[in-house]
Amino acid sequence: MVFPTLQFIGFFAVVLALNGLAWSHNALRKALLIAASYVFYAVWDWRFCGLMLFVSAVAWGAGLAVQRPALRKPAKGLAIAAMLGVLGFFKYFDFFMLSLQQMLQGTAFARDLTWMVVILPVGISFYTFQAISYVMDVDRGHIPPRRNPADVALYISFFPQLVAGPIVRAAHFLPQIDAPTRPDATARAAAVVLILSGLFKKMVVANYLSVLLVDPVFGFPDGQYWLSALAATLGYAVQIYCDFSGYSDIAIGVALLLGYHFHRNFNQPYRAESLRAFWQRWHISLSTWIRDYLYIPLGGNRGSVLRRNFTVILTMTLAGFWHGAGWNFILWGFFHGAGLAVERSLRRLHVRLPKLVAIVATLVFVAILWIPFRATSFTETLGMFAAFTRAEGYAAPEITATVWVLIAIGLAMNWLPLHWRSWAEMGLARLGPVLQAAILAILIWVMFATAQEGVAPFIYFQF
């Protein structure tokens, strides 16, 4: 089920009403939200509900087992191996088999390998990461283990963040399960603003940019020229921001209406003055997850300069590989890691760029690296870079004024002062609940009327 659809609106209206009715009955409310989350997930493919249940059961069992000194290490190791095994099999099996076949070509072992095609379950990366963080946090003593399996099941399956994040930490979410906050006027106002801004980013900016510009250009890079390649590169930078931060905004707003608070996942990332600052502003829940559970265990800031640079490059390359089983994602991660290492060295040498130059340089670097991220193959990536050198493109789409306006709106969202949003929230918080709901409903209606027929899935669903 995708957020900007009538199906989701109907589903959520029912869940919101039942959640309100079950508010004072903790066990009933948990059961309701778990059931709703599994229904939400089953709409894609009910067969994978069992997989999510398995991951939840492993996390719950491991959480209890790591409390016993004798079982601590084996339980943690087995649980993380099981979760990474599930993730690795569903996400990377095809990639490894294909790579193996390509490696064997031209050798005495060359043969046509046959293997089953594995379907990638939606959101598997997100819920396995949450499960891993639960086991790790219990093991580190940050949170006590939950005896009630329903608590862990709800933490892992909670539908607003299930398929594309934000990755919520157990230490932040689990205490809320026992005592969610009934949404007051301020929380409802924040939720309304988040849901509306998320829908606008996704349904209007991201979807139109995708159809009018990005898809036609990336779909046929050999027929493009410098202007179409440039516009599509910038367009994709805006599209992925609006698509993904739009999803996060809706998820946070929906959770808020149910009584649960998530941290912000994007903080105007294209205003960043450095790559390091960019990763502190982009997909914050994933960046911090990678820092805490990958970068620091790999060595973090310990060791020599060379060692630290190696760690950051390795971490980002693995983060790239997490995004997708393909060389283009590995390249994307590697160059981000290399960029961070270079930036760190420049900082040590006290090299500082003027603020505006630093922002533009960061944006250009990030936008260029979105090319391999968006391209479906390494060949397509090279094709896009080649397009920048051509003066004419026989298959370039018309770069209309609408396209430039959409890009400008997307970039403006990174530059508008944050207190504008606070003003909107404060204004809405002064209104009664009936007016708040009416404004939400009317503007959703206008958004649906502005959008194209049919809504493309969110980009991050594939990860």
Closer CB to another protein, 70 or 401, in the complex: 401
Rounded Cα distance between 173 and 184, Å, is 19
| Binding to another protein, residues 248-267 (CB under 8 A) | none
Q: Which of 352, 427, 441, 462 binds another protein (CB under 8 A)?
A: 441
Closer CB to another protein, 187 or 272, in the complex: 187
HEC string of 309-335 equals HHHHHHHHHHHHHHHCCCHHHHHHHHH
Q: Which of 48, 127, 208, 279 binds another protein (CB under 8 A)?
A: 208
Q: Which of 182, 348, 350, 355 binds another protein (CB under 8 A)?
A: 182
Contacts of 286 (CB under 8 A, 6+ apart): 129, 165, 166, 167, 319
Q: Active site residue: 323, 336, 350, 419, which one?
A: 323
Q: How many residues does the chain have?
A: 463
Q: Which of 2, 16, 51, 424 binds another protein (CB under 8 A)?
A: 16
Secondary structure class of 390 (helix, strand, coil): coil
**Whether residue 283 lies in the annotated active site:** no
Q: Say if CB 293 and CB 133 are below 8 A apart.
A: yes
Q: Which of 70, 179, 351, 449 binds another protein (CB under 8 A)?
A: 449
Q: Under the criterion CB under 8 A, does residue 50 sit at the interface with another protein?
A: no
CA distances, 222 to each of 86, 217, 328, 414 (Å): 38, 9, 18, 32
56: amino acid identity, one letter: S
Distance of CA 103 to the CA centre of its chain: 32
Which part of the chain contacts another protein (CB under 8 A), choosing from 15-23, 230-238, 302-310, 335-343?
15-23
Rounded Cα distance between 19 and 416, Å, is 35
Rounded Cα distance between 435 and 426, Å, is 14
**Residue 199: which region, alpha, beta or left (left: phi > 0; alpha: psi -120 to 50)?**
alpha
Q: Which of 377, 450, 457, 462 binds another protein (CB under 8 A)?
A: 450
Q: Under the criterion CB under 8 A, does residue 183 sit at the interface with another protein?
A: yes
Distance of CA 54 to the CA centre of its chain: 23
CB of 282 to another protein, least distance (A): 29
Q: Under the criterion CB under 8 A, does residue 84 sit at the interface with another protein?
A: no
Q: Under the criterion CB under 8 A, does residue 20 sit at the interface with another protein?
A: yes
Q: For the chain, how big is the Rg over CA atoms in Å? A: 23
Q: Under the criterion CB under 8 A, does residue 438 sit at the interface with another protein?
A: yes
Rounded Cα distance between 34 and 162, Å, is 11
CB of 62 to another protein, least distance (A): 33
Which part of the chain contacts another protein (CB under 8 A), choosing from 47-55, 143-151, 339-347, 446-454?
446-454
Which part of the chain contacts another protein (CB under 8 A), choosing from 93-101, 177-185, 293-301, 331-339?
177-185
Q: Which of 178, 184, 392, 398 binds another protein (CB under 8 A)?
A: 184
Closer CB to another protein, 6 or 391, in the complex: 6
CB of 3 to another protein, least distance (A): 14
CA distances, 48 to each of 32, 55, 63 (Å): 19, 11, 23
| Binding to another protein, residues 401-430 (CB under 8 A) | 402
Q: Which residues bind another protein (CB under 8 A)?
A: 5-7, 9-10, 13, 16-17, 20, 42-43, 182-185, 188, 208, 212, 402, 432-434, 436-438, 440-442, 445-446, 448-450, 452
* Catalytic residue positions, numbered: 323
